[in-house]
């Protein structure tokens, strides 16, 4: 079996990793929207942003906060999130479900 490694949050003083400009993200602010679909098996889905002409954004299960990160999201769930852009495109980070978790 493979070796398990503990995940830790990077510290400000952590200089072991050099910044990679290709993966640098640009935050566009907090948005709201509704989940179009989410696959627990694939661990990602799509969120439709509220607002005229706003593009849909991709969400990965690692970006979901709170108890919903365990259960995943369901189509129609209302969420708030940060929109970020990186070399892969536009995606949702810090996704929080509006209302109580199921």
Whether pTM exceeds 0.75: no
Domains recognised in the chain with CATH numbers: 25-97 (2.40.50.140)
pLDDT tens for the chain, 102 residues long, are: 555 555 555 555 444 444 443 334 455 668 899 999 999 899 899 999 998 888 899 999 999 988 766 677 899 999 999 999 888 888 999 999 987 665
Give the pLDDT of residue 54: 87
99 burial (CB, 10 Å; 0-12 / 13-18 / 19+) is exposed
What does the pLDDT read at residue 52?
82
Cβ-Cβ contacts under 8 Å for 28 (sequence gap 6 or more): 82, 83, 84, 85
Based on the number of CB atoms within 10 Å of its own CB, is 79 exposed (0-12), middle (13-18) or buried (19 or more)?
A: buried
């Amino acid at each position: 079996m493979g070796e398990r490694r503990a995940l830790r949050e990077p510290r400000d003083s952590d200089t072991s990793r050099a910044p990679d400009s290709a993966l640098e993200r640009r935050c566009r602010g907090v948005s709201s929207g509704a989940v179009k679909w989410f696959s627990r098996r694939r661990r990602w889905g799509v969120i439709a942003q509220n607002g005229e002409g706003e593009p849909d954004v991709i969400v990965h299960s690692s970006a979901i906060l709170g108890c919903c990160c365990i259960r995943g999201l369901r189509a129609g769930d209302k969420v708030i999130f940060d929109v970020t852009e990186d070399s892969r495109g536009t995606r949702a980070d810090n996704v929080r479900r509006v209302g109580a978790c199921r």
